[in-house]
């Protein structure tokens, strides 16, 4: 018989909201780095295309820099639009999720087996083998990734009773892969 450990998850509205908000910012961090690069390139192209630099005579190449600067400015606008559009949609979904969790009376839990992990909440049950499970800790957040980074769960210690958070961490350390702090769950 396969022995298991069952950990209950207690729904707390403010913790769930903070977890989801953190994960949104965490996943968009990569895009914000891309935005910074685009701004740097746009500034460089604007300077080389539009400012009269006596020391550097680029001749007709400045036309390329002028058009390139407009392309980078368009790209910056696109990234900013995508960020705010995704933020609005995501926060609406978070509000909907929290409202649905508030209405449900079912208890969420995590069941730890020797060869797999199961997470059950009122809407879904996901079972995954340990070799397709990884985790990462960022600040006080535990990001649990299942099915080779396709599904992510965010946990914090206050969601668990007594030492259950430590039990989860011990199981994860024993059976799953830890992602480095430089690695990313976002594809």
pLDDT, tens only, 44-54 = 988 887 776 66
- Fold (CATH) for 4-11+106-177: PH-domain like (2.30.29)
What is the domain partition of the chain in residue ranges?
A: 4-11+106-177, 13-103
pTM for this one?
Answer: 0.76
The pLDDT tens digits for 28-74 are 988 889 999 999 999 998 888 777 666 666 677 778 888 899 999 99
Distances (CA, A) of 114 to 1, 2, 3, 11, 98: 11, 7, 7, 26, 32
């Amino acid at each position: 018989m396969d022995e298991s450990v069952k950990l209950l998850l207690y729904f707390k509205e403010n913790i769930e909201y903070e977890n989801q908000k953190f994960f949104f910012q965490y996943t968009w961090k990569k895009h914000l780095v891309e935005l910074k690069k685009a701004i740097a390139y746009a500034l460089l192209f604007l300077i080389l295309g539009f400012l009269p630099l006596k020391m550097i005579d680029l001749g007709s190449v400045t036309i390329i820099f002028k058009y390139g600067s407009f392309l980078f400015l368009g790209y910056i606008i696109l990234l900013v639009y995508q960020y705010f559009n995704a933020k609005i949609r995501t926060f609406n979904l978070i509000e909907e999720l929290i409202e649905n969790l508030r209405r449900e009376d079912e208890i969420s839990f995590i069941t730890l087996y020797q060869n797999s992990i199961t997470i059950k909440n009122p809407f879904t049950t996901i079972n995954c083998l340990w070799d397709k499970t990884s985790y990462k800790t960022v600040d006080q957040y535990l990001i649990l990734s299942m099915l080779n980074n396709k599904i992510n769960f965010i946990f914090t210690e206050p969601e668990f009773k007594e030492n259950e958070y430590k039990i989860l961490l011990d199981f994860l350390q024993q059976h799953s892969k830890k992602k480095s702090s430089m690695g990313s769950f976002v594809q």
